[in-house]
Chains A and B, each alone.
Chain A
């Protein structure tokens, strides 16, 4: 049995130059182009749908950032598969492209070390989860709420509403403090009192102030600690616990309440001061009393006099 080629196709193929669109259309046929278009039309939406579904499922099951990473990964991988498939269907060979990509890849590799490091660090951050979105963290001098944990960086909003971007690589290498990791926090209030005060009485006053504040947790119970004998005052520390959301409010209110109570109880909070001492171990200080012109002292004719501690 002999198979003959269609004379029309033979004619068209013989006439068109090799590698041209006409050659493709004629030799490969319209079906190939149609297939490629169909791949695009169905492939792209399928990739988008799959990536979003997976991202939503993972966000609900695990965390928002894991869902986001999965979504982006699936999308870009799927997109690459669709593009390669379309190109292959159209008859374009990727071999030369890959060859060139090898050289370019080496060059890009050197250039993108930091970016790749950030991406890999991002994976480690997501696995380790030292913090989550909406946590309050401190990184070096920067304190802020976590807005998002992305593949390359973490975004923070500072308490005075500035936007800070911190590369993931920095976070992996730096000490990060998660301020709101645990549900309760302690407020430490240094309180200085005059040396003349009764420390036991002041301790009771401080604990009463803490007990009267509803934001201050009864358990763990408030404590007053004797820190040190300071240069100007006795340094105490009042430590109270509160729910993490109430930390700032408690810190403000309880200091005001301590001050108000100290005023009521006549407890002195001394200013920093120095006392100059003269006593048995030293010579008395000589003192000269000078009267302003026109002022009257014990004797109007005396404008000044020297007084020592032994004088009456």
Chain B
């Protein structure tokens, strides 16, 4: 696969600080006795350094919008000597996202549309020192499980409701959200009712443009109900942010000619009798 120009030469993983988005992301010094509190959207992290141990707890916003630190549960790691700093970097969730527009729409044959979906990121915590060690990846938002497929086969995914906006403005950007442009086109002979879109985030990169986080563009071509859709991830910053820098490479590099189920209805779905 051809590498995009923004990829670092080393294998995807730790990147230099200049490639990380601004606070709350980035590097934090872990001095002895330090007690950090870092908020990333609705997620609050507490990090402490006690001797060679690193303690970490996290809480999320309650329904009333408060972060109750007292309810946090602590996790501890015994770190190797010389682990002096903590890096927070954004990454995508670990499963495919089933994106459901609040208002399903029809994509007529021959039509194309560009929508923007904001995906809640996960926070990757890495301990830096002689070598980089990943401590944990914490979702900023807990997404509900869902199933993409039918009752006999499919893939476990996360559910993400979206407005599938046609434009995106400055006010829509938040530290814990990444804007994913999706170009949909219908090259089949049928009209397509778009109710669910499987967004394969494992193949997406995260780019940073000042305080805005962008994913590379996903192009999905619907070729018919019996054939998988053609998927292509550009691997480059989207046109809306052409000067953005790479902060997280894809977990799984996308192969050219990726074909996968992207639009699917649950076949054979029935309630049945419980008796």
Interface residues of A (CB under 8 A from B): 182-184, 188, 211, 213-220, 223, 225, 227, 237, 239, 241-243, 246
Q: Do A217 and B147 touch across chains, with their CB atoms under 8 A apart? A: yes
Q: Is B156 in contact with chain A by the CB < 8 A criterion?
A: yes
Q: Do B147 and A214 touch across chains, with their CB atoms under 8 A apart? A: no
Q: Do A219 and B274 touch across chains, with their CB atoms under 8 A apart? A: no
> How long is the Cα–Cα vector from A220 to B151 in the complex, in angstroms?
8
Chain A residues whose CB sits within 8 angstroms of the CB of B269 once the complex forms: 219-220
Interface positions, chain B 139-171, Cβ under 8 Å from A, are 142-148, 151-154, 156, 159
Report the nearest B residue to A181, measured CB to CB: B152
Q: A183-B153, A183-B154, A243-B156 are in contact. Are A219 and B271 (CB under 8 A)?
A: no
Q: Is B215 in contact with chain A by the CB < 8 A criterion?
A: no
CB distance from B139 to the nearest CB of A (A): 10
Q: A183-B156, A237-B274 are in contact. Are A219 and B144 (CB under 8 A)?
A: no
Q: Do A218 and B271 touch across chains, with their CB atoms under 8 A apart? A: no
Q: Is B30 in contact with chain A by the CB < 8 A criterion?
A: no
Q: Is B266 in contact with chain A by the CB < 8 A criterion?
A: yes
Report the nearest B residue to A246, measured CB to CB: B145
Q: Do B153 and A219 touch across chains, with their CB atoms under 8 A apart? A: no
Q: A182-B152, A183-B153, A183-B154 are in contact. Are A220 and B274 (CB under 8 A)?
A: no
Q: Is B178 in contact with chain A by the CB < 8 A criterion?
A: no
Q: Do B143 and A219 touch across chains, with their CB atoms under 8 A apart? A: no
Q: Do B266 and A219 touch across chains, with their CB atoms under 8 A apart? A: yes
Q: Is B196 in contact with chain A by the CB < 8 A criterion?
A: yes
Q: Do B145 and A214 touch across chains, with their CB atoms under 8 A apart? A: yes
Chain A residues whose CB sits within 8 angstroms of the CB of B142 once the complex forms: 214
> How long is the Cα–Cα vector from A211 to B269 in the complex, in angstroms?
18
Q: Do A217 and B145 touch across chains, with their CB atoms under 8 A apart? A: yes
Q: Is B59 in contact with chain A by the CB < 8 A criterion?
A: no
Q: Do A220 and B152 touch across chains, with their CB atoms under 8 A apart? A: no
> How long is the Cα–Cα vector from A184 to B148 in the complex, in angstroms?
11
For the complex of A and B, 7 pairs with smallest distance between CB atoms: A218-B146, A218-B159, A188-B274, A214-B144, A219-B146, A217-B147, A217-B146
Contact of A184 among B98, B143, B151, B274 (CB under 8 A): B151
CB distance from B188 to the nearest CB of A (A): 23
Consensus secondary structure, chain A interface? mixed
> How long is the Cα–Cα vector from A234 to B170 in the complex, in angstroms?
52
CB distance from B154 to the nearest CB of A (A): 7
Q: Do A214 and B274 touch across chains, with their CB atoms under 8 A apart? A: no
Contact of A218 among B145, B151, B153, B274 (CB under 8 A): B145
Q: A182-B151, A184-B151 are in contact. Are A242 and B266 (CB under 8 A)?
A: no
Contact of B145 among A182, A215, A227, A239 (CB under 8 A): A215
Q: Do A243 and B145 touch across chains, with their CB atoms under 8 A apart? A: yes
Chain A residues whose CB sits within 8 angstroms of the CB of B98 once the complex forms: 218-219
Chain A residues whose CB sits within 8 angstroms of the CB of B153 once the complex forms: 182-183
> How long is the Cα–Cα vector from A312 to B141 in the complex, in angstroms?
64
CB distance from B100 to the nearest CB of A (A): 8
Q: A219-B98, A243-B156 are in contact. Are A184 and B147 (CB under 8 A)?
A: yes
> How long is the Cα–Cα vector from A183 to B146 in the complex, in angstroms?
12
Q: Which of B98, B100, B142, B147 has the most CB of A within 10 A?
A: B147
Contact of A241 among B143, B147, B274 (CB under 8 A): B147
A216-B145, A219-B196, A223-B271 given; name 14 further pairs at CB < 8 Å: A182-B151, A182-B152, A183-B154, A214-B144, A217-B144, A218-B100, A218-B145, A219-B98, A219-B269, A220-B151, A220-B269, A225-B274, A239-B274, A243-B156
Q: Do B147 and A220 touch across chains, with their CB atoms under 8 A apart? A: yes
Q: Do A242 and B145 touch across chains, with their CB atoms under 8 A apart? A: yes
Contact of A220 among B100, B143, B144, B266 (CB under 8 A): B266
Chain A residues whose CB sits within 8 angstroms of the CB of B152 once the complex forms: 182-183
A-B contact pairs, 8 of them (CB 8 A): A183-B153, A184-B151, A218-B146, A220-B151, A220-B269, A223-B271, A237-B274, A243-B147
Report the nearest A residue to B145, measured CB to CB: A217
> How long is the Cα–Cα vector from A188 to B273 in the complex, in angstroms?
10
Q: Do B147 and A219 touch across chains, with their CB atoms under 8 A apart? A: yes
Chain B residues whose CB sits within 8 angstroms of the CB of A188 once the complex forms: 274
CB distance from A265 to the nearest CB of B (A): 16
CB distance from A84 to the nearest CB of B (A): 50
Report the nearest B residue to A188, measured CB to CB: B274
CB distance from A59 to the nearest CB of B (A): 24
Chain B residues whose CB sits within 8 angstroms of the CB of A227 once the complex forms: 274
> How long is the Cα–Cα vector from A246 to B147 in the complex, in angstroms?
13
Chain B residues whose CB sits within 8 angstroms of the CB of A243 once the complex forms: 145, 147, 156
Report the nearest B residue to A212, measured CB to CB: B144
Chain B residues whose CB sits within 8 angstroms of the CB of A219 once the complex forms: 98, 146-148, 159, 196, 266, 269
> How long is the Cα–Cα vector from A220 to B152 in the complex, in angstroms?
12
